[in-house]
Structure 1
Amino acid sequence: MNLLIIGSGAREHAFAKALAANARVQKIFLAPGNGGTAMMGGKVSNIPLKALQLDELLEFALRNQVALTVVGPEQPLEAGVVDLFRASGMKIIGPVKAAARLESSKSFAKDFMRRHGIPSAAYRVFRDEASAVSCIAGLTDDRFPQVIKASGLCAGKGVIIALDRREAIVALKEIFEDRIFGSAADEVVIEDFLHGQEASVFALTDGSQYRLFLSAQDHKRIGEGDTGKNTGGMGAYAPAPLVTPEVMRKIEELVIRPTLAGMAAEGCSYTGFLYVGLMIDRGEPSVVEFNARLGDPETQVVLPLLQSDLCDALLASVEGGLDTVPFDMRSGSAATVVMASCGYPDAFESGKLITIDPLAEDSDDVMIFHAGTAFDGESLITTGGRVLSVTALGSSLGESLERAYRTVGLIHFDGAVYRRDIGAKAL
C-alpha cells in the first residue's frame, strides 16, 4: 500500500521512519518533506506539494492510490484537509476542521473545557486592547503572573507570561497594535498562571476508543534554564517521570475521556491524534492547551518508544478495531536535542552547509530527524530555524541524553545553537 505524509518537519521524518518499517508499505510520499526524507531513498520520496495545497494533495492521493494519509502540522487541519479527503472516500488521520478548533481556537478550547468540567486555568477572552487592559488594571498584585495567548495558530510561539501589570499592558500593546502575532491574535485569551511542571500526553483515537503513547516533557524556551523566547520546541524526553500511573489515571478520567465524550455529544466526533499539554501540580493535572496532532519535538521521542507497528494502529483508528491492535511501548527512555539556526526564533540565516560525521549515522539507538534542511543530491544545507532533532534511546534518561549530546557533537553547521540542559528537571 502507498502512504502520504503531509508536512516538512522532524515530526514527519519520524513518521516516515516508523511507517517504513511495515512490510506492506510499498511507497511513502512526503509533501513536501525535507532534506532528511529526501536522503532516505527506498520506498520514501518527497513530492513538490506544500501542506496547504489541499486540492492538489487530494488529486495526488487519488491518482497514486494512497491507502492512508497522515497529517503532521496543524495548518492543514485548520483548513479542512480531513473533511476534503473524507468527502472523496480517502482514509486520513486527523480531526475534521470543526474538531480541530480544540487547537486552532484557544477561546473555543477554553469554553469547551468549561462546558465539560475539564480542569484548566480561569480565563477571559478579549477582542480589543481597551477591554483587555481594563481587565489587567483591575487585577490585584497577587493575581500575577498572567498568561496572555493569541487564540489562533502561532506555531507554538503565541504565548506571553506577564510577571506584573506593566509587562501585561506592554504585551497587549504589542499584540493589538504592533500585531506581533498577526491575525492569530484577533482574539486574545488571558489566563491565570498555573503552577507546577508541564508534561504532554498523546492519544490516538477513533472518536470513542483511544490508545495512549508514553508521556513526554518538551522544552519550549530558547535558553537554558527555561529562559528567553518561546520556540516550537528545543528538545524533549519520554517518558516523563512526573506522569506517574496515578497521574495518568487522573488525566484519562478528568481530561481525555470527557474531551472525547464532549466532542461526540456536541456532534463533532474527534479522531486522529490528541495532544494534551498539562500542568501537573502536586499530582493534580490541569490542561494548558490541546493540539490536534502529535507535537514536535515530542513525536521524535514517543514514536521511537512505540514497540508495536504504527501503520497497523493508524489503519485500525480509521477502519475500526483500535482497541484490538497491539500498542506496546519499549522499556527505557528517549531524548531529543534540537539543533537550531543562530537567531531563532527571530531572524536567522539559511543556506549553511551541514556536515555529519559518519560516526553519527542512524542506528538502533540514535536517529537524526531533519526539519529545516534541503538536500540537492550532494550537499545538505539549512533552510529553517529548527534544523535537526537528534534523538537517542537508552535504558535510562541519563543514558539517552548522553548518547544524544555525543551525537550532537558530531554534527556541524555555521551558527548552530542548542540547549545543553534538556532533561535536567527529570534528572
Structure 2
Amino acid sequence: MNILVVGSGGREHALCWAIEASPLCDRLYCAPGNAGIAAVAECLPVAADDVEGLVVLASEKAIDFVVVGPEQPLVLGLVDRLAAAGVKAFGPSASAAALEGSKSFMKGLCARYGIPTARYATFTDAEAAKAHVRAEGAPIVVKADGLAAGKGVVVAAGVEEAEAAIDAALLEGSFGEAGAEIIVEECMTGPELSFFVLADGETVLPLAGAQDHKRAYDNDEGPNTGGMGAFSPSPLLTDALRRRVMAEIIEPTVAAMKAEGAPFKGVLYAGLMLTPDGPKLLEYNVRFGDPECQALMVRLKSDILPALIASADGALSTVDLRWRDEAAIVVVMASKGYPGAYRKGTPIKGLKKAGETGATIFHAGTASTDDGGIVATGGRVLGVTALGATLGEARDAAYRAVDAIDWPEGFCRRDIAAAALSAARAEEGA
C-alpha cells in the first residue's frame, strides 16, 4: 500500500515510525513532515491544512490510505474530501471532529446524553461572562470554544485573572475566530489522565493509558503548553477505572455521535479529571495526543496499520492490539521562550549520540540544513522517548538521552513522571 501521513509534529513522526515497519506499507509519504520524518518517509511540501492540495497529492501519488495526524485538517473536512475523491482515510468526518473543534458542541452533547463533565456556561458577551465569573467565584476555567493549539485554556486562580482571560478572547481577539465564543466552567480537582480509544462508528477499542504534563516548567508551574512530556502506562488506570470510563464516558459518546448522525471513526482522546465524584470529561481530542502518541507507539507490539484501516472500514471488532510490558517516557525539548516567543533556526547537535543510548528521538519542529545539520523551527522540537522495565528505568534512560543532546537554546522539564514515581514509592512504603 501507498500510505500518506498528514502532519509535521512529533505525533506524526511516531506514526510514520510505526507505519513504516508494517509489512502492508510499500511506500510511505508525509506532508509536510520534518527533518526526522524524512529518515522514514518521503516528505512532500504540502501543508497539513491545505485540504485541496492534499486531495490532489493523494491522487498524484496513487495513495491507498491516508492517516491524518493533527486536528486542523480533520475539522476542515479533509477526510470528507478524500472520501469524495475515493481515497480511504483514518480520522473522523468534519461533523464528528466537532467534538474537538467546538467545545460548546462537546459540552452540549455531554449535557444531552448524561456524560459526566464540569458544570459550564457559554458566552459571546464579555460582560455577561464576567458577571458569571463573579457569581461563581474562583478558581474557575476559561476556554476558547475553537481550536487554539492547546493554548486556549486559562485555569484562573482569581476573578481578575478570569476576567482578563475573557477580555483577551472576546475583546482582544487573542485566539481569533476560535475565541469568538468561550466556555466558562467549574474548576475540577484531581489527577488528570489521557484515555485513548479507536472507534469505527460503533465498536470501540481501548488503547493503553497515558499521562501528560501540560505546564511549561517543573512542579507544574508556568503557562499551559501543547505538552512537555508523557508516560505510559499510567498507574492511575486500573482495570476497574478503565471499565468505568468506557461505560460512563466513551461508549455513551460514540453511541451519541451515531444517534446525532455523525458516527465517530478514528482515535478519540478523552482528557479526564479523576475527581472525588469519579472520572469526568475535561475535553475530547479527535486525534492522538502529542506527546502521548510517542509513548504509545513505542509500547505497541502489534502492527498499527491494520488497526487504523479497520477503524476506517468499520471492522474494529476483528482487531486485538498487544502492548509491551515496559514503560515509556517522553521528554519534550522545546525552544527557550515557548509557549511564548522563541528563536528559530538554532542548531541542534548530539542527536546521534542521544540515539546511541537506546532512546528514540522523535522530531517535531526541525529542519535540515544544506550541510546536513539539524535546526529548530518550532516551539516543541524533540520528543526524547525511552523504554524501561519500570517507569523509573524508562525515566532514567530518557534523561540520559536528553543530556547527550547539545542544544543551548532548548529546555525541558526535569520532572516528567516524577510525581507518579513518588506516589508509587509512597504506596509501596505504606
On whether the aligned pair clears a TM of 0.5, the verdict is: yes
Name which of 396, 399, 424 aligns with 1:402.
396
Structure 1 equivalent of residue 27 of structure 2: 27
Deviation per residue, 1:343-375 (Å, 9 max, x gap): 000000011111125332267x52100001001
Structure 1 equivalent of residue 95 of structure 2: 98
Conservation of the 8 A alpha-carbon contact between 1:213 and 1:306: no
| Cα distance between partner residues in 2 of 1:217 and 1:321 | 28
Q: Displacement of 1:317 after TM fit?
A: 1.6
Q: Displacement of 1:326 after TM fit?
A: 2.8
Q: Secondary structure at the match of 1:409?
A: helix
1:137 aligns with 2:146: no
1:367 aligns with 2:364: no
Deviation per residue, 1:56-79 (Å, 9 max, x gap): 211111222211100010100111
Conservation of the 8 A alpha-carbon contact between 1:362 and 1:368: no
| Cα distance between partner residues in 2 of 1:158 and 1:320 | 33
Matched-pair identity in %: 44
1:237 aligns with 2:231: yes
TM-score (norm 1): 0.96
Structure 2 equivalent of residue 122 of structure 1: 119
Q: Displacement of 1:290 after TM fit?
A: 0.1
Structure 1 equivalent of residue 57 of structure 2: 60
Alpha-carbon distance change, 56 to 282 in structure 1, aligned in 2, over 3 angstroms: same
Q: Displacement of 1:157 after TM fit?
A: 0.8
Structure 2 regions of 5+ residues with no counterpart?
422-430
Deviation per residue, 1:39-91 (Å, 9 max, x gap): 33xxx210011011111211111222211100010100111001101112211
Q: Displacement of 1:217 after TM fit?
A: 0.6
Alpha-carbon distance change, 224 to 403 in structure 1, aligned in 2, over 3 angstroms: same
| Cα distance between partner residues in 2 of 1:172 and 1:54 | 32
Structure 2 equivalent of residue 221 of structure 1: 215
Alpha-carbon distance change, 86 to 362 in structure 1, aligned in 2, over 3 angstroms: farther
Q: Give the letter for the 2:202 counterpart.
A: S
Question: How many residues are paired up?
Answer: 420
Q: Displacement of 1:265 after TM fit?
A: 0.5
Structure 2 equivalent of residue 70 of structure 1: 67
Deviation per residue, 1:177-235 (Å, 9 max, x gap): 22222221100000001110001011111111121111111100101111111111000
Q: Give the letter for the 1:215 counterpart.
A: G
Conservation of the 8 A alpha-carbon contact between 1:373 and 1:383: yes
Structure 2 equivalent of residue 176 of structure 1: 170
1:49 aligns with 2:42: no
Alpha-carbon distance change, 169 to 24 in structure 1, aligned in 2, over 3 angstroms: closer
Alpha-carbon distance change, 108 to 404 in structure 1, aligned in 2, over 3 angstroms: same
Q: Displacement of 1:163 after TM fit?
A: 1.4
Which of the pair is proportionally richer in helix? 2
1:110 aligns with 2:103: no
Q: Displacement of 1:175 after TM fit?
A: 2.1
Name which of 247, 251, 255 aligns with 2:245.
251
| Cα distance between partner residues in 2 of 1:329 and 1:301 | 11
Structure 2 equivalent of residue 348 of structure 1: 342
TM-score (norm 2): 0.95
Q: Displacement of 1:283 after TM fit?
A: 7.6
| Cα distance between partner residues in 2 of 1:242 and 1:283 | 15
